[in-house]
Amino acid sequence: MTRHFLIAWHFLTAVPLTRRHHDPTPQELAGSMGWYPAVGLVLGGLLVGTDLLANRLFAPEVANVLLLLLLVSVTRGLHQDGLADTLDGLAGGRTPEERLTIMRDGRIGAIGATGLFLGLALRYAGLLVLPSQVRFPVLLCMPAFGRWAMVVAAWTVPYARAEGGLAAPFLDHLVLHHVVVATLVLAGALSVMFGLGGAVTGLAVGALLARACAAVCRRFFGGMTGDTLGATNEVVETVFLLAGAALSSLR
């Protein structure tokens, strides 16, 4: 359990906790996905703490930008890069092979840059209008929700590139047990923060969104990649931010 969490932490963040656990097996990489929501909850705790401090020192607009900056910095912009690459691939290729080739280009195209900007702007707007009474639970659970969605989207979906890649071991060895562990971690947090009704509704809607993203990726790319998993996180996390107040009302 501790090893899987540390593997997940080192993969999802830029903050080293230990010099150990840097050579995981493919099975351990897949097993670490069960603890993605736990990593997300730690990131959510950082957001909550930063929000409390920033709102004492700065105007709300500045505090919200700092929250976005923190999340992007701590995660190395991993998921934002995935969103931009995925959008470029969808916009620029006519076949799965062409789309995957475009996604491997280190440069960001016009569509990817526009989508990235709009995604961050939508998050900023969501933070700006987020009611104060639900700010704590939404900020705490938002990163966990998006990372859980990656696990749900990856289950039973093949890796898109025939030659393999960074995310291939995760998808090739991910099993139902890992999905269940991730779901239980998130369900516990949602139940405490949003009540049973909010938790059930959130999990149901999140699972539908995650599987919809997976279906789109299978259709246009032939499967999932690390970039499309990052894009899934961005989409589902943003939806959760925008719907957080509604979930709280279902308590």
| pLDDT tens track for 39-75 | 999 999 999 999 999 999 999 999 999 999 999 999 9
pLDDT for 21 beyond 60? no
Where exactly are the structural domains of the chain?
59-242
What pLDDT, on the 0 to 100 scale, is given for residue 125? 95
Neighbours of 206 (CB within 10 A): 23
The pTM is what? 0.94
Classify 159 as helix, strand or coil: strand
Q: Give the pLDDT of residue 1.
A: 64
pLDDT of residue 39: 97
pLDDT in tens, 188-241: 999 999 999 999 999 999 999 999 999 999 999 999 999 999 999 999 999 999
Is 15 in contact with 36 (CB distance < 8 Å)? no
Q: What is the pLDDT of residue 20?
A: 63
pLDDT value at position 2? 83
With a CB cutoff of 8 Å and minimum separation 6, the contacts of 159 are 165, 167, 168, 171, 172, 223, 224, 225
Burial class (CB in 10 A: 0-12, 13-18, 19+), 4: buried
> What is the rounded average pLDDT of the residues 84-105?
91
User: Could you tell me which of 64, 36, 206, 37 has the C-alpha nearest to residue 135?
Assistant: 64
The DSSP 8-state label assigned to residue 34 in this structure reads: G
pLDDT tens digits, residue range 111-151? 999 999 999 999 999 999 999 999 999 999 999 999 999 99
**Model pLDDT, residue 190:** 96
Give the residue among 203, 177, 207 at the shortest CA–CA distance from 190: 203
